[in-house]
A and B are shown apart, each in its own frame.
Chain A
Amino acid sequence: DTAVSQTPKYLVTQMGNDKSIKCEQNLGHDTMYWYKQDSKKFLKIMFSYNNKELIINETVPNRFSPKSPDKAHLNLHINSLELGDSAVYFCASSRKQGTGNTIYFGEGSWLTVV
């Protein structure tokens, strides 16, 4: 009965590869997010979707392409992986768009690019 679930939890891959991280929420929320947390724990928003529509795209390289097939899913595809992409990627959701809403996070996907 996990609220926000993302897979895989751990991913080790070589530079230049393409990989995807999947995310699903069963909370009935309208808004979903992808955050990146670097080695210094700085958590930065990458994308925000509201009812399958892209709302926020925070200057992320176009190698990163989110895809929302429905409002319960927001997947992240990364092309041509680089060493600097190594980080923890968190999927999250909130009931509605807007800053007054609680954000529910997944457990994170640890990506290591070698």
Chain B
Amino acid sequence: SQQGEEDPQALSIQEGENATMNCSYKTSINNLQWYRQNSGRGLVHLILIRSNEREKHSGRLRVTLDTSKKSSSLLITASRAADTASYFCATGRDDKIIFGKGTRLHILP
């Protein structure tokens, strides 16, 4: 069964603005990962956050995890045209990694 669900389904923002995407899940997890998929390409790993971590940074990316609310957020600061892509959260539990449906992010020039 599907584990993570991203919100919003689609997001359009101006270049330079910050983009925030959320992921909610239903059952307990070991960790949560975020991936990016450019149009017509495979998914690329961005960041992993473990269940005992609350926040993690990588360059312009900031990920938070709230296990009590079963939710995570991905913040991309100072967005660029190259950030246009779909973003997926993937939750890990019992040796399975399950992906959500993704958020389509479009950066407007």
Contacts and interface: CB of A to CB of B under 8 A. Distances in A.
Interface of A: 4, 35, 40-45, 55-56, 90, 92, 97-100, 102-108
A90 B48 contact: no
- Size category of the B interface is 20 to 34
A99 B88 CA distance: 15
Given A99-B93, A99-B97, A106-B42, A41 B86 contact: yes
Given A105-B44, A107-B42, A45 B50 contact: no
B73 interface: no
Interface stretch (B18-26, B57-65, B74-82, B98-106): B98-106
What are the 10 closest A-B residue pairs judged by CB atoms, nearest first? Answer: A99-B92, A105-B42, A43-B99, A102-B45, A105-B43, A107-B42, A99-B30, A42-B101, A41-B102, A99-B97
A43 B50 CA distance: 22
Contacts of B90: 103
Contacts of B45: 102-104
B2 to A, nearest CB: 8
Contacts of B104: 41
Interface in B14-57: 29-31, 33, 35, 37, 40-45, 48, 50
By secondary structure, the B interface counts as strand
A86 to B, nearest CB: 16
B69 interface: no
A102 B96 contact: no
Nearest to A55: B95
B30 A100 contact: yes
B96 A45 contact: yes
Given A43-B43, A108-B41, A97 B95 contact: yes
A45 B93 CA distance: 14
20 contacts: A4-B42, A40-B101, A41-B86, A42-B2, A43-B101, A45-B96, A45-B98, A45-B99, A56-B96, A97-B95, A98-B95, A99-B30, A99-B31, A99-B95, A99-B96, A100-B50, A102-B33, A103-B97, A105-B42, A105-B43
